[in-house]
Structure 1
Amino acid sequence: MVPKSAQTTNPSWFTPKRLLGIFCVINLINYVDRGAIASNGVNGSLATCTDSGVCTSGTGIQGDFNLNNFQDGVLSSAFLVGLLIASPIFASLAKSHNPFRLIGVGLSVWTIAIAGCGSSFDFWSIAICRMLVGVGEASFISLAAPFIDDNAPAAQKTAWLATFYMCIPAGTALGYVYGGLVGSQFNWRVAFWGEAIFMLPFPILGFLIKPLQLKGFAPMESKQALTSNEANASENGADGMLVVDQAFIRGSR
């Protein structure tokens, strides 16, 4: 049970609908990236030559880095490596660190990694950046839903979570359009840099505004105070028992 001293009031910026809106936009950007990297404008195609000797240059990531089918498949799923490793780590850290700040850390990693994808120079550099994208996304994926469940009105929890998860197909579909347009009109690198710019305000907010606290998770200061109080109570209880025992012995004499 969380002690009363650990029950902090919500920060002034907070309203449940505002929190849902922020998380939905972040989730949408996450999945725009999933769609964008699979789009023809970003993923591209290899250079090809016909039997008559007419050749077309490669486009997108495949064309620039001359990727084979295996390497192209790795890029699309590399984020899962970071996601699977980092998700339980962030969930465990939430017991000792503020979960809202952890989301800020993860989104910072995500933003830097996405910018790195746009600045990559070969297959391995972009593959590593894609893995780090998964690491950054892990904090948000594992902690956002509990925040929504904590703060949604009791009768609307299911609807709010449904709204949050609707951003998955919506963001993926939007990503195909975004990647196709930006990749074909400008360059596939610009698509990644654009995603990083769109996400940048949210890690900044995660560090600058007063954080929320998940219900059932006491801040570290409160936990330390509670532990200290329990230790003092235990010592006082032991001293009291010693006094009673001594009085009993004297009385029996």
Structure 2
Amino acid sequence: MRTASQFIQETILHAHHVDDSAHGDIGVTRSPVRVYAWVVFALTLGLLISDYMSRQVLNAVFPLLKEVWGLSDTRLGSLSSVVAMMVGILTFPLSVLADRWGRVRSIVLMATIWSLATLGCAVSTSYDQMLAARALVGIGEAAYGSVGIALVLSIFPAYLRSTLTAAFMAGGSFGSVLGMALGGMVAAQLGWRWSFGAMAAFGFLLVLVYAAVVSEKRLASERPGEGAAARGKPAMRVSFRTLMQGLFSCRSVRCAYVGSGLQLLVPGAMYAWLPSYLNRYYAMAPGKAAVSAAGFVLATGVGMIFCGIVTDVVSKKVPQRKWLVAVLYCLLCFVSLSIALRLPPGTAQIALIGAGMFFSAGACGPSGAMVANLTPPNMHSSAFATLTLANNFLGLAPAAILTGFIADRIGLLGALQIIPFATFVSALAFLLGKRSYTADLQRLNAQRAQAAT
């Protein structure tokens, strides 16, 4: 049986590239960032925005579909949750395949699939057809988040990890904003089918631009710390057992997966049901409710970026502070939403919901940085696939349908009052991870250094 040290040696010696992540938070060299890296980041972020526009446009037309097809809240929630469920099921195997087949080609294929599936939603004539099309959207999106962020991190220095991870994941919030706001406005003018059609057209356009600008060869020349001899080497192929050892090597990384997934139950539920909440409790028309709800989603995206930057600043000299700030973000969300949803409709409730949404996904940046630091660099697509799996199965997949199921029994307000407790449990997971983070990181870095000599 191989020791942990032998495992690290195997993965490092066969890695397809070497980057700053081999050193975690310690001893990072601040290498410059080239313009092309930022272009790749912008285009990859743009596709993530398209991804979430296709995913969240549905929420803008919930009230219309409920009226046209006579759907219960549970069935409405299933149309949203099926996407996250397919992402959760397929993200890991498809991300591993992407590491072997090529990240750029995989990204182009995935974006094409989810755009075609969104177009399928536009022509659906029943709940069953819509459910099938939404499942196909999830298949297309399954590995995009993990492959996209792994591609981005591979061409940037490690000291920007929390900021880049938070900014990239915030693209989901901005895509949700555009999907809900534009979807609501288009639906009000042209009908709900055109809402899906518009999202599909935007996706097709971005796919063409991405395929023309981004290439594996150019990416290889941008990776920090790579010499000419290292570029263009194929990705490492490892056994399933070796892969599992790398992805779940210590308690702190397992806590990062769990904490990240649980905290996303709250924004997942709020994204899906805020338009309906505003429609039912504030008597807003569906279009206006969708646009108003998009403002809360925007607050989430801005909060993710802000929290990611703050995390990098406060943990610059003391890496374990990442865990403490993640705990703080979870508790601020829990307190704000718990108070807000027990107030009567009005200005105070709206303000506190906004505050809660601002911090609701604040731990995404710290979580991504923790996972990157605690897993081998050649396995980062698979590591972020595992993080995506946790985010979906623990948070995003059950969020909409669980809320709808509870709402059918005690009302939508009662369901939303229960959901924030997920962030409290998330805070406990991050606290547990902090206890072993420093020791785990030092041990892994020592093993990597030994393997490199």
TM-score (norm 1): 0.69
Q: What amino acid is aligned across from residue 40 of structure 2 in structure 1?
A: L
2:120 is aligned to 116
SS at match of 1:96: helix
Instruction: Output the aligned Cα RMSD.
Output: 2.9
Q: What amino acid is aligned across from residue 114 of structure 1 in structure 2?
A: T
Q: Which runs of 5+ in 2 are unaligned?
A: 1-12, 19-34, 224-229, 238-453
1:157–1:95 distance in 2 versus 1, CA, 3 Å? closer
2:234 is aligned to 219
Is the aligned partner of 1:164 residue 2:168?
yes
Q: Work out the CA distance in 1 between the residues paired with 2:92 and 2:209.
A: 24
Aligned 8 A contact 2:103 2:147 in 1:
yes
Which protein has the larger Cα radius of gyration, Structure 1 or Structure 2?
Answer: 1
What is the deviation of 1:210? 5.8
Q: Work out the CA distance in 2 between the residues paired with 1:162 and 1:210.
A: 22
Q: What amino acid is aligned across from residue 149 of structure 2 in structure 1?
A: A
Q: Work out the CA distance in 2 between the residues paired with 1:130 and 1:65.
A: 16
TM-score (norm 2): 0.40
Higher deviation after alignment, 124-133 or 157-166? 157-166
Q: Work out the CA distance in 1 between the residues paired with 2:183 and 2:74.
A: 21
Task: Deviation per CA, 1:76-127: give whole Å up to 9, x if none.
Answer: 2111222122211211212421111011111111011000000111111110
Is the aligned partner of 1:143 residue 2:147?
yes
Q: Work out the CA distance in 2 between the residues paired with 1:104 and 1:35.
A: 21
Q: Which runs of 5+ in 1 are unaligned?
A: 8-13, 45-59, 224-253
Q: Residue 25 of structure 1: which of 46, 50, 63 is its match?
A: 46
SS at match of 2:143: helix
Q: Work out the CA distance in 2 between the residues paired with 1:139 and 1:124.
A: 25
SS at match of 1:200: helix
Q: What amino acid is aligned across from residue 190 of structure 1 in structure 2?
A: W
What is the deviation of 1:26? 1.4
Is the aligned partner of 1:93 residue 2:112?
no
Aligned 8 A contact 1:2 1:218 in 2:
no
Identical positions, percent:
22
Q: Within 5 Å, which residues of 2 pair with 1:9-88?
A: 15-39=36-60, 42-44=61-63, 60-88=64-92
Aligned 8 A contact 1:110 1:132 in 2:
yes
Q: Work out the CA distance in 2 between the residues paired with 1:175 and 1:207.
A: 23
Aligned 8 A contact 2:50 2:202 in 1:
yes
Aligned 8 A contact 1:115 1:192 in 2:
yes
2:132 is aligned to 128
1:239 is aligned to none
Structure with greater proportional helix content: 2
Number of residue-to-residue matches in the alignment: 198
Aligned 8 A contact 2:91 2:142 in 1:
yes
